[in-house]
């Protein structure tokens, strides 16, 4: 399967449903969301400079429902992306919140 994504898909992880794979396009400052069931791109999300999630972190946010978190290299931001298109379609596949981490960047976020 060939996907129209952004450069360069680097690393990532599954959302809580295990249907969607979110991966950093770290040369483009984006997160690519791949729908594994449909085998196509679900979204391409703008994030802060050089996203670097490792596998990312999944948890339930009180306002946005299920979210996936990514850190970034070179800044302290932790970006939360809403990942619940069934129960929170108005927020799905959007960067819904940016948290301030510690220091000047991070390689991985885990729960």
- Least confident span in 23-32, 47-56, 64-73, 78-87: 47-56
Who has greater pLDDT, 91 or 103? Answer: 91
In the chain, DSSP assigns E strands to 9-14, 20-25, 30-35, 40-46, 57-61, 65-70, 77-82, 95-100
**Domain 9-100 -> CATH class:** mainly beta
Q: Determine what percent of the chain is predicted with pLDDT higher than 90.
A: 56
Three-class DSSP category at 54: coil
- Give the Cα separation of 32 and 46 in Å (integer): 9
36 band by pLDDT with thresholds 50, 70 and 90: very high
Q: What is the pLDDT of the chain when averaged over all its residues?
A: 89
Who has greater pLDDT, 103 or 78? Answer: 78
- Give the Cα separation of 97 and 80 in Å (integer): 5
4 pLDDT above the threshold of 90: no
């Amino acid at each position: 399967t060939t996907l129209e994504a952004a450069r360069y898909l680097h690393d990532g992880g599954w959302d809580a449903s295990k249907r969607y794979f979110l991966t950093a396009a770290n040369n483009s400052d984006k997160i690519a969301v791949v729908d594994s069931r449909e085998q196509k791109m679900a979204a391409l999300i703008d994030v802060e400079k050089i996203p670097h999630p490792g596998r990312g972190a999944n948890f339930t946010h009180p306002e946005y429902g299920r979210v996936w978190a990514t850190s970034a290299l070179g800044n302290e931001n932790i970006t939360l992306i809403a990942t619940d298109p069934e129960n929170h379609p108005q927020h799905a596949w959007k960067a819904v919140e940016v948290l301030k981490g510690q220091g000047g960047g991070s390689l991985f976020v885990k729960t």
